[in-house]
Amino acid sequence: MKPSAFEYHLAVSTDEAVGLLAEHDGDAKVIAGGQSLVPLLALRLARVDHLVDINKVPDLQGITANGGLRIGAMTRHREAERSALVRRHAPLLADALTYIGHAAIRNRGTLGGSLAHADPAAELPATLLALDGQVEVRNSRGTRTVAAADLFTGFLTTSLEPDELLTAISLPAWRAGSGWSVQEFARRSGDFAISGAMTVLSTGADGRIDDARIALIGVAPTAVRASAAEQALIGGAPSEELWASVAEAAVADIEPPSDLHGSSAYRKKLTSTLVRRSLAESASRIGAAA
């Protein structure tokens, strides 16, 4: 199929892009890498009157570190995946990026586009949640910051207004010595995960866990943090018994969707297994990234 007719606009600055979004007041969509939007348009699962191309906007690209990490929304997955700054300041993100589609997709797809698309089976929404990240968004009236916990509101839905452009991703400073892990299961390499888990663990001087993050993929209309399971880890000594009990707690309150790839019960059991594996790998990596 072919997309319905639309008017194409090539923006060359952030000001121009947000101006076009304001001018067309909800009738415009932004295209960056196009890895999600173009198929939706081609199948007519989405329609748009105006398409605003931001590929030529230079200030939406690039990666900088100053304590934390700031990544321009137009930064390609592959660039971030290969970045020494990302590996040093956000190793969980570096690993998560390797699970996104295939290299050809990562060469084109952008971090901002993936977050704005808000697919609950995608890696980046869960990563942003796990790292307590935030996004910068801008419209013709100004700029605001949205925390990851407030960004994802439903299936393929965010709290961004129709005239707002996601311009950058910000991640807080990585705690030295933290361990991390990405675990997911897909039918084939490059497919969306049937379910997945991301974890980050840190320990104090006594060797007990004093900070824990668990984010789940593909189990709800949005990526989710397993907050109760995180609290159950605090003060615990790393052990297989702890991982097993916390993995059960992580899925206790979720009801994953059923589809042709698996039932809700199957996804719940699979997710518990992935959380347990992720916690074990995170613990094994504590001290690996200074």
Long-range CB contacts for residues 23-27, cutoff 8 Å, separation at least 24: 24/49, 24/50, 25/162, 25/163, 26/162, 26/163
pLDDT in the model for residue 288: 52
Q: Topology of 180-285 in CATH? A: Enolase-like; domain 1 (3.30.390)
Residue 119 makes CB contacts below 8 A (sequence gap 6+) with: 36, 125, 156, 192
Question: Nearest-CA neighbor of 52 among 96, 87, 10?
Answer: 10
Rounded distance between C-alpha atoms, residue 18 and residue 52, angstroms = 9
The 10s digit of each residue's pLDDT in 127-138 is 999 999 999 999
Residue-level pLDDT at 290: 39
Of how many residues is the chain composed? Answer: 290
Q: What is the pLDDT of residues 84-114, one digit of tens each?
A: 999 999 999 999 999 999 999 999 999 999 9
In angstroms, rounded to a whole number, what is the distance separating the alpha carbons of residues 251 and 253?
Answer: 6
Residue 60: Cβ-neighbour burial (10 angstroms; 0-12, 13-18, 19+): buried
Q: Is there a contact between 200 and 130 (Cβ–Cβ < 8 Å)?
A: yes
User: How buried is residue 58: exposed, middle or buried, by Cβ count under 10 Å (0-12/13-18/19+)?
Assistant: exposed
**Under CATH, what is the fold of the domain 7-52?**
3.30.43
> What does the domain layout of the chain look like in residue ranges?
7-52, 61-171, 180-285
Q: Report the CATH number of the 61-171 domain.
A: 3.30.465.10
Amino acid 289: pLDDT? 45
Q: Tell me the pTM.
A: 0.94
Question: At a CB cut-off of 8 Å and minimum separation 6, what does 175 contact?
Answer: 202, 211
Rg for the chain, CA atoms, rounded? 19
Residues of the chain with pLDDT under 70: 1, 288-290
pLDDT given for residue 87 in this prediction: 97
